[in-house]
């Protein structure tokens, strides 16, 4: 007899549900005097149960078990093995199961590393995490069961959306989910603190690495998503202010604010109630993001699933969790008393300004995302909110923030005020002159270039002149890396956006064209048959001053099972510029429309995010060492 | 419950309500700004005859205007409904042939029957642009004074004809 | 002071960069939505309707129409849904001013509470 893996997977899901209920008994079933050990072991056990269930799902994909509806819709026998595996989380059902697995993993960690917390806080904290896990799992079992059976078993499956047959999209969702769901730890802890009516310094310090870790994953996830869009969608954009991107960007901005305020709470016992509120809001925004993406109520490039019953379920959960969290907060917010007052001219004062700007920026994006929807529901004229709006509203908010970021090193080094003013003025003028020298084609460019230079000079100025003390250096390294990453990102974004050369044109075989400082020749057109698609591969020779620099091979693929055409851009990437070619449509037998882009410094966008993540990891490590 | 809590509760509740209503909202439906406006001025050739058609070619009746093309697969689906509408004396039926080759269009109609009284041949798509057409097929209704009363995007069917079009076509008669 | 200097520079630079027809065309097609696509602008899209519209925009620019006239022309026909920059009118007032109101209220609340 063949073992039915799909059944085992489903059984484990149900077992997970039971486990969650079991986890909640010590808190909610009074009179039995149940031991807290139930809570601790159940919260650890949840992860292995769901993980194995998820492995079962992968096994059904690899084993081509088309009796499962989800498998038959998202995979077929011609798919390469790696995509069969990744198809397990490419569709709605599987990705929601992945969400649950990730959530159970965070609960596992939370349970493992919370020994030092007071007992009642820990109990409440883990119980809330248990409730969240129960909710997510219930959602999967009730509305999105990946192990549901087909009524009749098809001979072969459908297809994995060709857009998703790509490395970027294999790793993007798990990373993003790690970030989203990591924030549930922060949320649960904050709500648990509300029940304790206290938010002690040590607790804030305990919370800090969790915020940083979630933030790092979010950054990585968003960055991967943007990189994927850049090379896969075929028009060279890396950020569209698309509702789905906004859904991930809002919790990112909010958690960036939280990273700062939680430091103040941890070191000086300040902003207690504000940090708690931010924690609740941050996770609420990740839930809202999930709702917006999963319910299909927004038109967007990435929206895959839509089904009102699922939407209602998520909405209900959203309302209960956020409503519950906020209720717990409002009932107890008066009890949080700060240990110290804040001086505006101090690190904490800067954090406050930082928080005001970042929260406003988040609000702006929320408004831009929700406003068209609200108008539509009210029956008013439908509008689009896109790049021009966000440029107009978001960038002005970022300018003061960046001025602050640049100022921070000097503030921390406690140089006398007179000296500071002089030095700041010098750095300001140097940055300004530099940016005017390099960037003279638009205001946005000057502002962007200036911002990057301003931050970088300030950091290095401080590194060379003042921060020689190694303890001090260590304590700031994370911050410097992250802020430097921000500067690199801004540099990449503003240089590439403002000096890019973009051309759409038609080339015949053998024809040469000059774009920017390079010559492009359509050298060859080849046809290639792969297992699950046919491709036309063009070879474009790039030369400068008659010497060949690169051969770029953009592809146009036609996938067999879905009959959909996909563009695979060809990119010649160097540190200082990308040459980007994508195939458009065939005009004639040997004549194709092409998009050729020359994008200087675009790599810096993603390099910047890597620096940010390194900074965040350094901060986590540093905090750990001082605790030991 | 203090004032702030109250305000936040209201905002929170409203947001949930909007999200809920959003679930039952079709994000793809866009109201045309041309409803209630005059049908745009045009001067284009007839698909069959060598004559020029313009706004005076409409007769003083309510008129259904259907934008179609021989290359459009969805047009196939609605064609029998248009044939069904074509016998009616109450209103007129005019076609706009959108970005098509004359021969293809005539051949396509030859196979399936011609429901239209006249067909405006819009090869460049200029009239369609003035009408805000963004996908064939599209169906419009104008009144005796050439005011646009109704627009539907996508193929029509019995439900749309009965529920949406007929009330406009035969009102006040 | 710093901000004022920056602002002055911004104002100065505003006048230097007048845009020519080609850059106007590029700006326009990036600010207009492809009506048949899922959230793409005209520049990104190769849908037939988008190609037609780009052609039309080019013709209109060549015949001396201004950016705003073209936007008006298209939104009269396709509704302001086609504009990625929502027009500032009664209906969209909240969208444009709410960020300012929000930052004022938030600053007031936080600064009053924490800065002694």
Which of A312, A370, A382 has its CB closest to that of B23? A312
Q: Has residue B172 got a pLDDT over 60?
A: no
Q: What is the average per-residue pLDDT within A397-421? A: 88
Q: Say whether B22 and A319 touch across the interface (CB within 8 A).
A: no
Tokens matching residue B67: 């934008």
Residue from the list B8, B22, B28 with its beta carbon closest to the beta carbon of A377? B22
- Give the nearest partner residue to A356 out of C33, C39, C106, using CB atoms: C106
Domain residues for B117? 28-169
Averaged pLDDT, A183-190 = 97
Pairwise CB contact (< 8 Å): C99 & A301: no
How many angstroms separate the CA of residue A245 from the nearest CA in chain C?
Answer: 12
Residues 6+ apart with CB under 8 A from A595: A234, A235, A236, A502, A503, A504, A580, A581, A582, A584
> Distance from B172 to chain C by nearest Cα, in Å?
29
Quick count: other Cβ atoms within 10 Å of Cβ A205? 17
Tally the domains of chain B. Answer: 1
Rounded mean pLDDT of A135-154? 91
Cα A245 from Cα A565, distance rounded (Å):
24
A residues 344..403 contacting B (CB < 8 A)? 370, 373-374, 376-377, 381-382
The span from the CA of B79 to the CA of B65, in Å, is: 13
* Residue among A299, A326, A374 minimizing CB distance to B18: A374
Q: Distance (Å, rounded) from C-alpha B133 to C-alpha A470? A: 68
- So what's the pLDDT on residue B28? 67
- B31 to chain C: nearest residue by CA? C79
pLDDT given at position C24:
86
Which of C14, C81, C115 has the CB atom closest to A344's CB atom? C115
Residues C77, B132: C-beta atoms closer than 8 Å: yes
The CA-CA-CA angle for residues B107, B110, B111, to 5°, reads: 95
Domain assignment present for residue A179? The answer is no
Q: Is the pLDDT at A258 greater than 60, yes or no?
A: yes
Flag if A312 and B20 touch (Cβ within 8 Å).
Answer: yes
Mean pLDDT of A98-113: 96
Cβ contact, residue pair C99, A352, below 8 Å: no
Residue A420: φ, ψ to 5° = -55, -50
Do both A255 and A336 map to the same domain? yes
Partner A contacted by B18 (CB < 8 A):
yes
Q: Does A323 touch chain B (CB under 8 A)?
A: yes
Q: Is residue B18 part of a domain?
A: no
- Residue C106 with chain A: CB contacts under 8 Å: 356, 359-360
Pair (A257, A127) in one structural domain: no
| Closest approach of A368 to chain B, Cα-based (Å) | 14
Backbone φ and ψ for A412, nearest 5 degrees, come out as: -70, -30
Q: Does residue B11 lie in a domain region?
A: no
The answer to whether the CB atoms of C99 and A360 lie below 8 A apart is yes
Same domain, A245 and A270: yes
User: How does pLDDT run across A263-310, given as a tens digit for each residue?
Assistant: 999 999 999 999 999 999 999 999 988 888 777 666 544 444 456 777
DSSP E strand stretches across A344-467: none
Interacting residues of B151 by C-beta distance below 8 A, sequence separation 6+? B32, B34, B35, B138, B139, B140
State the pLDDT confidence band at A600, using cuts at 50, 70 and 90.
very high
Residue-range definition of the domain harbouring residue A597: 501-601
Residue C8 has pLDDT above 60, yes or no: no
- Indicate whether A173 belongs to any domain: no
DSSP A335: G
Q: Are A176 and A222 in contact (CB under 8 A)?
A: yes
CA distance C67 to chain B (A): 18
Compute the distance between CA of residue B45 and CA of residue B54 in angstroms, rounded to an integer. Answer: 9
Which of B16, B18, B23 shows the shortest C-beta gap to A308?
A: B23
A73 and A144 in one domain?
Answer: yes
Residue C73: closest C-alpha in chain B: B130
Question: Is residue B112 assigned to a domain?
Answer: yes
What's the CA gap between A429 and C9, in Å, rounded? 12
* DSSP bridge partners of A573: A578
For residue range B128-162, what is the model confidence (pLDDT) as tens digits? 988 888 778 999 999 999 999 999 888 888 888 88
Residue C18 has pLDDT above 60, yes or no: no
Identify the residue among C77, C81, C102, C109 best suited for mutation to test binding to B, counting B beta carbons within 10 A and taking the highest. C77
The mean per-residue pLDDT over the stretch A45-52 comes to: 97
Report percent pLDDT > 70 for chain B.
95
Task: Tell me, yes or no, if A320 comes closer than 8 A to chain B by beta carbon.
Answer: no
Q: Edge-to-edge strands of the sheet including A501-508? A: A501-508, A591-600, A577-588, A570-573
What is the per-residue pLDDT for A105?
97
- Residue B16 covered by a domain: no
Show which subunits contact C, needing at least 3 CB pairs below 8 angstroms: A, B
Residue to test with chain C: of B26, B33, B35, most C Cβ within 10 A? B33
- Nearest by CB to residue A382, choosing from B20, B21, B31, is B31
By CA distance, what is A319's nearest residue in B? B16
Query: Which of the four pLDDT bands, split at 50, 70 and 90, describes residue A129?
Result: very high
Contact (CB<8Å) A315/B16: yes
Look at A174-178, A347-351, A520-524, C34-38 and tell me which has the smallest mean pLDDT.
Answer: C34-38
Interface residue ranges in chain C relative to chain B, Cβ cutoff 8 Å: 35-36, 48-49, 52-53, 56, 75-81
- What lies within 8 Å, CB to CB, of A243 at 6+ separation is A292, A298, A299, A300, A303, A369, C39
CATH classification of the domain holding B110: 3.40.30.10
Model pLDDT for residues C80-93, shown as the tens digit of each residue: 889 999 998 999 99
- State how far residue A565 is from chain C, nearest Cα, in angstroms: 13
Q: Is the domain of A480 the same as that of A505?
A: no
What are the beta bridge partners of residue A149? Answer: A68
Cα A148 from chain centre: 30
User: How large is the ipTM?
Assistant: 0.89
Residue A4's pLDDT is 87
Q: Which of C49, C53, C79 sits opposite B30 (nearest CB)?
A: C79
Give mean pLDDT, residues C53-68: 90
User: Does any domain span residue A509?
Assistant: yes
Q: Mean pLDDT, to the nearest integer, of B106-119?
A: 92
- Write the CB contacts of A271 (distance below 8 Å, at least 6 apart in sequence): A261, A264, A265, A338, A342, A348, A351, A352, A355, C114
Residues of chain B in contact with residue A376, where contact means CB-CB under 8 angstroms, are 22, 25, 27
Q: What percent of chain A has pLDDT over 70?
A: 95
pLDDT number for residue B107:
92
Range 15-34 of C in CB contact (< 8 A) with A = 16-17, 26, 30-31, 33
CB atoms within 10 A of CB C64: 8
The dihedral through the CA atoms of C46, C49, C55, C56 has a sign that is negative
pLDDT value at position A43? 93
**Do A616 and A567 belong to one domain?**
no
* In the predicted structure, residue A393 carries a pLDDT above the cut 80: yes
Per-residue pLDDT at A32: 62
Structure-token pair, residue A477: 């390294």
Selecting from A271, A385, A436 the residue whose C-beta is nearest the C-beta of C86 gives A385
Cβ neighbours for B161, distance < 8 A, ≥ 6 positions apart: B81, B85
**Alpha carbon B78 to chain centroid distance?**
12
Residue C19, pLDDT score: 54
What would the pLDDT profile of A519-528 be if each residue is shown by its tens digit? 999 998 998 8
Structurally, chain A folds into a number of domains equal to 4
Interface test with B, best of A373, A380, A384 (most B CBs within 10 A): A373
Q: Decide if pLDDT at C12 tops 50.
A: no
Cis peptide before A37 (omega within 30 of 0): no
Give residue-wise pLDDT tens across range A75-87: 888 888 999 999 9
Could you give the dihedral angle defined by the CA atoms of residues A294, A298, A302 and A306, in that order, rounded to the nearest 10 degrees?
A: 40
Whole-number Å distance between alpha carbons of A145 and A529 = 36
The DSSP-derived string for C8-21 is HHHHHHHHH----H
Residue A396: inside a domain: no
Among the listed residues A318, A320, A325, the one whose alpha carbon sits nearest the alpha carbon of residue A188: A325
Q: Does one domain contain both A477 and A537?
A: no
Q: What is the CA radius of gyration of chain B?
A: 21
Q: Do A384 and C95 touch (CB under 8 A)?
A: no
Domains of chain C, CATH where assigned: 20-85 (1.10.8.640), 88-116 (no CATH)
Out of A356, A385, A414, pick the residue that ends a domain: A385
Identify whether B61 is part of a domain.
Answer: yes
Are A16 and A118 part of one and the same domain? yes
What mean pLDDT is predicted for residues A16-36? 81
């Amino acid at each position: 007899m063949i073992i039915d893996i799909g059944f085992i997977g489903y059984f484990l899901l149900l077992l997970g549900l039971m486990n969650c209920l079991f986890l909640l008994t010590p808190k909610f079933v009074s009179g039995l005097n149940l031991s807290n050990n139930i809570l601790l072991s159940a919260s650890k056990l949840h992860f292995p149960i769901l993980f194995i269930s998820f492995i079962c799902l992968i096994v059904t994909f690899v084993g081509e078990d088309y009796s499962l509806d989800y498998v038959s819709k998202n995979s077929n026998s011609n798919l390469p093995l790696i995509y069969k595996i990744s198809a397990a989380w490419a569709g709605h059902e599987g990705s929601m199961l992945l969400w649950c697995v990730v959530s159970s993993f965070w609960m596992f960690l939370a349970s493992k590393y919370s020994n030092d917390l007071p007992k009642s806080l820990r109990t409440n904290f883990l119980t809330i995490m248990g409730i969240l896990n129960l909710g997510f799992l219930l959602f999967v079992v009730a509305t999105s069961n990946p192990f549901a059976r087909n009524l009749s078993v098809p001979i072969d499956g459908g297809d994995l959306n060709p857009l998703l047959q790509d490395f970027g999209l294999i790793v993007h969702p798990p990373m993003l989910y790690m970030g989203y769901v990591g924030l549930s730890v922060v949320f649960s802890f904050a709500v648990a603190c509300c029940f304790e009516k206290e938010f002690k310094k040590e607790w804030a310090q305990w919370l800090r690495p969790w915020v940083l870790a979630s933030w790092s994953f979010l950054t990585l996830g968003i960055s991967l998503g943007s990189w994927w869009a850049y090379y896969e969608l075929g028009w060279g954009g890396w950020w569209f202010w698309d509702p789905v991107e906004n859904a991930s960007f809002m919790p990112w901005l909010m958690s960036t604010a939280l990273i700062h305020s939680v430091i103040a709470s941890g070191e000086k016992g300040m902003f207690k109630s504000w940090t708690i509120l931010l924690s609740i809001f941050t996770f609420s925004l990740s839930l809202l993001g999930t709702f917006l993406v999963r319910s299909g109520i927004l038109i967007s490039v990435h929206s895959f699933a839509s089904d009102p019953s699922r939407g209602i379920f998520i909405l209900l959960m959203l309302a209960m969790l956020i409503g519950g969290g906020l209720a717990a907060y409002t009932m107890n917010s008066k009890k949080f008393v700060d240990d110290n007052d804040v001086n505006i001219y101090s690190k904490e004062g800067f954090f406050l300004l930082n928080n005001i700007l970042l929260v406003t920026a988040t609000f702006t994006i929320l408004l831009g995302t929700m406003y068209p929807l609200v108008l539509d529901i009210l029956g008013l004229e439908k509008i689009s909110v896109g790049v021009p709006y966000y440029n107009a509203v978001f960038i002005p908010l970022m300018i003061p923030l960046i001025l602050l970021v640049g100022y921070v090193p000097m503030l921390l080094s406690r140089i006398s005020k007179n000296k500071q003013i002089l030095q700041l003025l010098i750095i300001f003028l140097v940055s300004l002159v530099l940016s005017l020298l390099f960037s003279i084609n638009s205001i946005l460019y000057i502002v962007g270039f200036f911002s990057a230079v301003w931050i970088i000079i300030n950091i290095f100025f401080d590194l060379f002149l003042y921060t020689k003390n190694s303890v001090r250096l260590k304590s700031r390294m994370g911050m410097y890396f992250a802020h430097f990453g921000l500067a690199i990102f801004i540099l990449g974004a503003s240089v590439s956006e403002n000096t890019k050369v973009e051309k759409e044109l038609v080339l015949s075989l053998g024809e040469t064209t000059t774009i920017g400082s390079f010559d492009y020749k359509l050298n060859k057109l080849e046809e290639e048959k792969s297992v699950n698609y046919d491709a036309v591969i063009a070879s474009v020779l790039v030369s400068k001053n008659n010497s060949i620099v690169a051969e770029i091979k953009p592809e146009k693929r036609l996938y067999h099972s879905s009959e959909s055409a996909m563009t695979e851009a060809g990119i010649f990437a160097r540190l200082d510029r990308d040459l980007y070619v994508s195939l458009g449509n065939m005009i004639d037998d040997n004549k194709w429309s092409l998009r050729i882009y020359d994008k200087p410094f675009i790599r810096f966008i993603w390099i910047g995010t890597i620096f940010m993540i390194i900074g965040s990891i350094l901060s986590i490590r540093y905090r750990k060492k001082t605790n030991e | 419950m203090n004032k702030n809590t109250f305000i936040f509760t209201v905002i929170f509740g409203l947001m949930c309500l909007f999200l809920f209503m959003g679930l039952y909202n079709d994000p793809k439906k866009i109201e045309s700004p041309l409803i209630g406006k005059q049908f745009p001025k045009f001067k284009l050739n007839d698909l069959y005859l060598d004559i020029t058609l313009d706004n005076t070619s409409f007769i003083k009746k309510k008129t259904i205007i259907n934008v179609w093309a021989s290359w459009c697969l969805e047009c196939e689906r609605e064609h029998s409904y248009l044939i069904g509408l074509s016998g009616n004396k109450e209103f007129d039926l005019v076609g706009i042939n959108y970005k098509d080759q004359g021969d293809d269009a005539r051949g396509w109609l030859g196979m399936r029957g011609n429901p239209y009284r006249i067909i405006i041949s819009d090869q460049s798509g200029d009239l369609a642009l003035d009408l805000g057409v963004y996908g064939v097929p599209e169906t419009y209704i104008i009144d005796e004074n050439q005011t646009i009363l109704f627009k539907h995007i996508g193929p029509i069917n019995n439900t749309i004809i009965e529920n949406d079009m007929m009330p406009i076509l035969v009102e006040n008669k | 002071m710093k901000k004022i200097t920056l602002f002055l520079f911004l104002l100065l630079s505003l006048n230097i960069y007048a845009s020519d027809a080609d850059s106007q065309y590029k700006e326009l097609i990036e600010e207009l939505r492809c009506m048949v696509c899922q959230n793409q602008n005209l520049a990104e899209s190769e849908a037939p309707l988008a190609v037609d519209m780009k052609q039309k925009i080019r013709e209109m620019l060549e015949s001396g129409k201004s950016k705003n006239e073209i936007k008006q022309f298209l939104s009269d026909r396709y509704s302001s849904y086609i504009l990625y920059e929502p027009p500032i009118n009664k209906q969209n007032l909240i969208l444009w001013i709410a960020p300012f109101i929000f930052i004022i209220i938030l600053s007031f609340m936080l600064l009053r509470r924490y800065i002694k």
